[in-house]
């Protein structure tokens, strides 16, 4: 038994070349998402069609719903292109619905414009047929209990009564590549997810302070990557040990400046990794005003350490909005597991909230920055992380 699933995609504003690129990327990502389920993906009348084994329907649906660019999907019954065949498919479909759904509306659409009946004619013929066959049904065009949608394709007709929402957005890969600064917290995985939603393909970079932080912090970053990979396919995760850098900062710089100087070191390291991997931007989970290092002044001083573009998708979001998105994505339960972040290790008692660039730059003269960067980068570890 084969199940057929119609896949709708959006961003109708896209035209011409962009549209082709969008569709090609979406197709690749759909194929990757259903890999191993025995499902084929084809193009039909402005949609994609997934055809796979019926016993894997739920699995296929749940995977397709994680592909960015997908607006909604509908498992559909099919019929040959004749009114009798469509009627009998409609009848079978109605029989699978609970009898409590008593009002309905038929909504037909034609991709094949040579089909002998117009859409309104299909609506009224199929509607009348259902009314005569099922006395418990009546029509309600405004607030029906169910909509029977019929799409007249070029080779067959598709009938369905429901839509599952997809994540929307743009297919991963169409807008470029970026490096996600991935801590073990709640925010950064959500930031990565949002960047992917706008079509960025993401690699992760995690900073740890082994042996001051346990292996667990690295495993956590890996687990979070694995979760993100369910939306994007295999992800590369880079890890850099910043223990030596933190020690130097602690020894040589004023304590209240510790975090901001560490952040500046992080973006310099990120810039080096991004250049090496040909990634065009850095993505962070910073949100304005959330903690001391996330004031406008701090963000400005962090930006000044690098020339690479820094994207902050969570900038304007409230914590509770970020948390509910994290729950939806499935990263929340991983993020809340206890762990030591490298940043919490040498946390100053009174971190600066309004750092001044001049003063920070002066404090940094106590550090041999090029050497520290070089040493840290030489210990870079990279792994490929498969999806969960």
Which of these, 150, 146, 12, lies nearest to 71 by C-alpha position? 12
Distance CA 8, CA 273 (A): 37
Which residues inside 179-198 make contact with ligand ATP, applying CB under 6 A?
A: 181-183, 185-188
Mask 319-358, x = binds ligand ATP (CB under 6 A)?
----------------------xxx---------------
CA distance readout (Å), 261 to 69, 248, 302, 340, 346: 39, 11, 8, 19, 12
Which of these, 230, 181, 178, 183, lies nearest to 199 by C-alpha position? 178
Query: Is residue 183 at the binding interface for Mg ion, with CB under 5 A as the rule?
Result: yes
Which of these, 213, 295, 216, lies nearest to 259 by C-alpha position? 295
**Residue with Cβ nearer ligand ATP (173 or 285):** 285
Q: What residue 364 binds from Mg ion, ligand ATP, none (CB within 5 to 8 A, per partner kind)?
A: none
**Residue with Cβ nearer ligand ATP (122 or 260):** 260
**Residue with Cβ nearer ligand ATP (232 or 293):** 293
Q: Residue 204, Cβ neighbours under 10 Å: how many?
A: 26
Prior bond of 211 cis (ω within 30°)? yes
Q: What residue 207 binds from ligand ATP, Mg ion, none (CB within 5 to 8 A, per partner kind)?
A: ligand ATP
Q: DSSP states of 59-96 as a string?
A: HHHHHHTTSTTEEEEEEEEEE-SSHHHHHHHHHHHHHT
Q: How far is the CB of 198 from ligand ATP (least distance, A)?
A: 17
Helix axes 296-303, 357-364, angle to 10 degrees: 50
Query: Is residue 39 at the binding interface for Mg ion, with CB under 5 A as the rule?
Result: no
Q: How far is the CB of 286 from ligand ATP (least distance, A)?
A: 5
Q: What residue 29 binds from Mg ion, ligand ATP, none (CB within 5 to 8 A, per partner kind)?
A: none
Give Dmax over CA atoms of the chain in angstroms: 87
State which of residues 75, 166, 169, 185 lies at the interface with Mg ion (CB under 5 A): 185
Binding-residue total with Mg ion (CB under 5 A): 2
Which of these, 16, 31, 33, lies nearest to 230 by C-alpha position? 33
State which of residues 48, 129, 207, 231 lies at the interface with ligand ATP (CB under 6 A): 207
Q: Are strands 47-53 and 40-44 parallel, antiparallel or unpaired?
A: antiparallel
- The piece of 166-174, 183-191, 208-216, 255-263 that touches Mg ion (CB under 5 A) is 183-191
Distance CA 244, CA 212 (A): 10
Q: What residue 182 binds from ligand ATP, Mg ion, none (CB within 5 to 8 A, per partner kind)?
A: ligand ATP
Mask 250-289, x = binds ligand ATP (CB under 6 A)?
----------------------------------xxx---
Token pair of 43, please? 């193009």
**Residue with Cβ nearer ligand ATP (160 or 332):** 332
**Residue with Cβ nearer ligand ATP (164 or 210):** 210
Which of these, 57, 131, 130, lies nearest to 92 by C-alpha position? 130
Distance CA 387, CA 34 (A): 12
Q: How far is the CB of 42 from Mg ion (least distance, A)?
A: 44
- The piece of 88-96, 122-130, 179-187, 228-236 that touches Mg ion (CB under 5 A) is 179-187
Binding interface with ligand ATP (CB under 6 A)? 181-183, 185-188, 205-207, 284-286, 290-291, 293, 341-343
């Amino acid at each position: 038994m084969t199940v057929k699933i119609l896949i709708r995609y959006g961003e109708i504003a896209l035209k011409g070349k962009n549209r082709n690129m969008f569709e090609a990327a979406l197709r690749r990502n759909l194929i990757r998402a259903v890999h191993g389920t025995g499902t084929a993906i084809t193009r039909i009348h402005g949609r994609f069609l997934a055809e796979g084994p019926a016993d894997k329907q739920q699995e296929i649906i749940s995977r397709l719903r994680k592909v960015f660019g997908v607006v909604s999907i509908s498992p559909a019954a099919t019929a040959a292109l004749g009114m009798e065949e469509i009627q009998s498919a409609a009848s079978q479909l109605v029989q699978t619905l609970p009898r409590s759904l008593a009002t309905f509306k038929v909504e037909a659409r034609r991709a094949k414009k040579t089909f002998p009946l117009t859409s309104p004619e299909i609506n009224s013929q199929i509607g009348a047929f259902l009314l005569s066959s099922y006395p418990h049904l009546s029509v309600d065009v405004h607030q029906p209990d169910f909509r029977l949608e019929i799409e007249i394709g070029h080779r067959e007709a598709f009938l369905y009564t429901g839509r599952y929402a997809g994540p929307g957005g743009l297919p991963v890969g169409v807008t470029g590549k970026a490096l996600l600064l991935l801590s073990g917290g709640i925010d950064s995985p959500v930031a990565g997810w949002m960047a992917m939603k706008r079509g960025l393909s993401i690699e992760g970079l995690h900073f740890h302070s082994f042996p001051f932080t346990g292996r667990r912090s690295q495993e956590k970053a890996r687990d979070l990557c694995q979760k993100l990979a369910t939306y994007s396919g295999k992800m590369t995760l880079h890890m850099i040990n910043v223990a030596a850098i933190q020690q130097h900062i602690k020894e040589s710089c004023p304590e209240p400046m510790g975090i901001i100087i560490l952040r500046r070191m992080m973006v310099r390291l990120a810039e080096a990794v991004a250049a090496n991997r040909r990634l065009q931007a850095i993505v962070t989970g910073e949100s304005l005003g959330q903690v001391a290092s996330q004031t406008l002044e701090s963000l400005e001083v962090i930006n000044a350490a690098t020339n690479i573009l820094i994207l902050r998708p969570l900038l304007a979001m409230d914590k509770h909005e970020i948390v509910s998105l994290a729950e939806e994505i499935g990263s929340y339960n991983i993020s809340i597991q206890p762990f030591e972040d490298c940043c919490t290790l040498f946390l100053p008692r009174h971190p600066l909230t309004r750092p001044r660039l001049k003063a920070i730059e002066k404090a940094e003269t106590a550090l041999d920055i090029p050497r520290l960067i070089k040493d840290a980068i030489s210990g870079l570890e990279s792994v490929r992380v498969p999806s969960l």
